[in-house]
Amino acid sequence: MSNHHQHEVVIVGAGGAGLMAALYASRGADTAVISKLYPTRSHTGAAQGGIGAALGNLEKDTVEWHTYDTVKGSDYLGDQDSIEFMAKEAIPVVYELEHMGLPFSRTEDGRIAQRPFGGHMNKETNKPVTRAAYAADRTGHMILQTLYQQCVKNEVNFYDEFQVLDLIVEDGKTAGVVAVDLSTGELHTYHAKSVIFATGGHGRVWEVTSNAYAYTGDGVAIAARKGIPMEDMEFFQFHPTGIKKLGILITEGVRGEGGVLINGEGERLMDKYAPNAKDLASRDVVSRAMYIEAREGRGVNKEKHMYLDVTPEVVNKYAKSDGRTNPDGTPYVTTAEEILTKLPDIIDFCRTYLGIDPVKQPMPVQPTAHYAMGGIPTNVYGEVVIDEKNTIMPGFYAAGEVACVSVHGANRLGTNSLLDIVVFGKQAGKKAAEYSKNNKYPSFPDDAKENTQKQVDHILNSDGSESAADIGKEMKSVMMDHVGVFRTEEGMAKAVEKIRELKERYQKVGVTDKGKVFNTELLNVWELGCLLDSAEITAVSALARKESRGAHAREDYPKRDDKTWLKHTLAWMNDDGIKLGYKDVQLGKYEPKERVY
């Protein structure tokens, strides 16, 4: 195999967004997918609870309600035109997944089953609405498998276990990427008309995270190093319910099925913080509530975690006091058996990692770093926009968690991430194919590999006086402590300083493995560089934003400040550090108002 390839569309990343883009791009253009993991290993597969769409299979629901909930969830930072676009596209795209063969759970009348999720409300009853279409608690797994199956069917080209290390830009136009074949260590160049980044997030920046080892912010770092700004990076979601210490995700679907958060004193804590939506308030609200409870000494055994209780007795007790009903109006009553059918994987995780049975005992949970709302700025067609005026960069697309459309604003609602990847993956794939039909191949530089080779050689030839593992640990710890659920000026300033120090020390990290075949040590060190870049952009963006909004909660500025801060952050990374700029939020019919759940 030659080490130089030419494909009209090159997609980097093979999770939900990448595969959806691949399906659409390959219909109109010669397409290749490059992925550092086998596609079915992608982190989409870890998503559990559901995909949001106002299908209305169990009760009345509308696109407008979905739009409003998402706008409100975003703390009014989401672009309303994009959000409406996504909520509208949600319905056909979920049906499309079903047509592709996705094994959704079913209702009594054979339709796609739906369950309530945090922040999704019925505007008539003012109670949580059943909007999350699901396949048990394996919705992400099913989406990933189904999309991969369709790619196999359509004979999409895959370069599995190839790590993309650089984006090639020639005269302002996207010209391709450089990747290393992990199995041989050889560098490969890809000449392309359009490149789609669907590389996922950077949750591994934090100590306690639900994210995979592979979630190292590669896309963010590669693009930022090419002078592309990152949007709203200060907004990173902490999911309220990760398994204590491990951070493994316990789906919000548990609370959708009636699970309740209980503090160390045996009280249902959300009564105080969200009197109406209670445990199904949006994630930032619940995470903060848990954090405050723990800080005030009401954690379980005075520790940092709370209990998430889904035992039938507790569920039924609180369902009764909340007046929760089934769609037909009868009181909501569940059984251990029903919980087992609806949440089989959660039960399995708890048995494996905690040795407890969730239908008999409560689960110890704490907030866990979960999802990047920010990332590479795009419009609704996945086209990357590179400044305050939304100027499009020709041939460059991004979709999924690495992208910031922005539909999630300051806080993403549960089920909107799976929706995001399929809706915008599809748009990016279509647009990239269309662009490649209408444009010639841009010229491809002869020295395309040089920048990458330099990076690799630098690591291989470093004296290795610093340890990658230590730097990684220090980064995770400082980000967890100071750029986590609650933030202060002092803490974030400390974090920025620390990250810069770590970046200096990173230059001296070396590797003991000098081989070419599956040099995973070299790969890990390179990924750490991406994490440090992601961390720096996040911390600097956060330090500058002097207000509290969504996931960005500052103790020194506890209020939202729409007058000054109703705007998106843009952060450019250059040699002297991070340069910040801002751009307007697309408002619409929903005027910003106080956010109460």
Q: Which residues are catalytic?
A: 283
Judged by CB, which is closer to other proteins: 153, or 589?
153
Angle formed by the axes of helices 416-438 and 139-153, to 10°? 20
Q: What is the C-alpha separation between 409 and 484, in angstroms, rounded?
A: 17
User: What are the tokens at 347?
Assistant: 């039960």
Q: What is the C-alpha separation between 192 and 373, in angstroms, rounded?
A: 28
Task: Kindly report the backbone phi and psi dihedral angles of residue 268, in degrees, each rounded to the nearest multiple of 5, phi listed first.
Answer: -75, 110
- CB distance 201 to 402 below 8 Å: yes
Q: What is the C-alpha separation between 556 and 418, in angstroms, rounded?
A: 34
Q: What is the C-alpha R_g of the chain?
A: 23
CB atoms within 10 A of CB 276: 12
* Residue with token string 């460059």: 396
Cβ 163 to other proteins shortest distance, Å: 13
Cβ 313 to other proteins shortest distance, Å: 26
Judged by CB, which is closer to other proteins: 141, or 482?
141
Q: Under the rule (CB under 8 A), what is the footprint of other proteins? A: 37-38, 40-43, 45-46, 92, 95, 98-101, 103-112, 135-136, 138, 141-142, 145-146, 149-150, 152-153, 183, 212-214, 246, 248, 345, 348-349, 352-353, 467-469, 511-513, 515-521, 524
Q: What is the C-alpha separation between 378 and 386, in angstroms, rounded?
A: 8
Strand order in the sheet with 230-231: 230-231, 567-574, 577-584
Cβ 109 to other proteins shortest distance, Å: 7
Judged by CB, which is closer to other proteins: 426, or 482?
426
| DSSP state at residue 17 | H
User: What are the tokens at 470?
Assistant: 């230590």
Judged by CB, which is closer to other proteins: 43, or 554?
43
CB atoms within 10 A of CB 331: 11
Cα within 13 Å of Cα(514), Cβ side = 7
Judged by CB, which is closer to other proteins: 31, or 146?
146
Cβ 469 to other proteins shortest distance, Å: 4
Judged by CB, which is closer to other proteins: 144, or 385?
144
Residue among 16, 42, 30 at smallest CA distance from 194:
30
Judged by CB, which is closer to other proteins: 517, or 596?
517
Judged by CB, which is closer to other proteins: 271, or 345?
345
Cβ 392 to other proteins shortest distance, Å: 32
- CB distance 214 to 43 below 8 Å: yes
Judged by CB, which is closer to other proteins: 469, or 596?
469
Q: Which amino acid is at 56?
A: G
Cβ 292 to other proteins shortest distance, Å: 28
Provide the CA 483 distance to its chain's centre, in angstroms: 17
- CB distance 32 to 190 below 8 Å: yes
Judged by CB, which is closer to other proteins: 141, or 288?
141
User: What are the tokens at 100?
Assistant: 């592709």
- CB distance 307 to 363 below 8 Å: yes
Strand order in the sheet with 114-122: 51-52, 127-133, 114-122
Cβ 521 to other proteins shortest distance, Å: 4
With the CA atoms of 535, 537, 538 and 540 taken in that order, what torsion angle do they form, in degrees rounded to the nearest 10? 110
Q: What is the C-alpha separation between 179 and 35, in angstroms, rounded?
A: 10
Cβ 146 to other proteins shortest distance, Å: 8
DSSP H or E segment with residue 231: strand 230-231
Cβ 99 to other proteins shortest distance, Å: 5
Cβ 140 to other proteins shortest distance, Å: 8
Residue among 365, 398, 361 at smallest CA distance from 381:
398
Cβ-based neighbours of 93, under 8 Å, separated by 6 or more: 53, 419, 422, 423, 426
